[in-house]
């Protein structure tokens, strides 16, 4: 008889299994939270970059022509600024030829509409 060997009860095995599964669920939840956080940070960075590019183009136009661009179409055509219109809504408001335009960018939520066939 081996006096160092212990019989493992079924409740001990069940407890270890539940602990392992719980640990795995917590690890997956932390991983998903991290991925979501990185995605939000990346989206915010893209919005900031787009806004700065539009404003730089408007300032460049003002420096060269003495007025800010009348529309986003002008910026697209003459400065090559493009963005995914399905992902971002860009609001470009001008208040005067010699006043800096207000540029606001809104992310568009991709929510699939239910299809009724």
CA distance 3 to 25: 37
Q: Is residue 5 pLDDT above 80, yes or no? A: no
Residue positions counted in the chain: 117
**The predicted structure's pLDDT at residue 117:** 45
pLDDT digits (tens, 9 = 90+) for 90-107: 999 988 778 899 999 999
Higher-pLDDT residue of 111, 19: 19
**Does the reported pTM lie above 0.95?**
no
State the average pLDDT over residues 43-57: 92
pLDDT at 21 over 70: yes
């Amino acid at each position: 008889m081996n006096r160092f060997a212990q019989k493992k009860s079924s409740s001990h095995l069940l407890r270890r299994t539940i602990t392992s599964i719980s640990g795995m669920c917590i690890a997956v939840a932390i991983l998903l939270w991290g991925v979501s956080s990185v995605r939000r940070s990346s989206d915010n960075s893209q919005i900031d970059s787009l806004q700065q590019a539009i404003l730089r183009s408007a300032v460049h136009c003002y420096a060269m022509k003495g007025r800010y661009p009348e529309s986003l179409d002008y910026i697209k055509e003459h400065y090559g600024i493009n963005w995914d219109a399905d992902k971002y809504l860009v609001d470009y408001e001008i208040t005067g030829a010699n006043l800096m335009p207000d540029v606001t960018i809104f992310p568009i939520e991709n929510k699939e509409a239910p299809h009724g066939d």
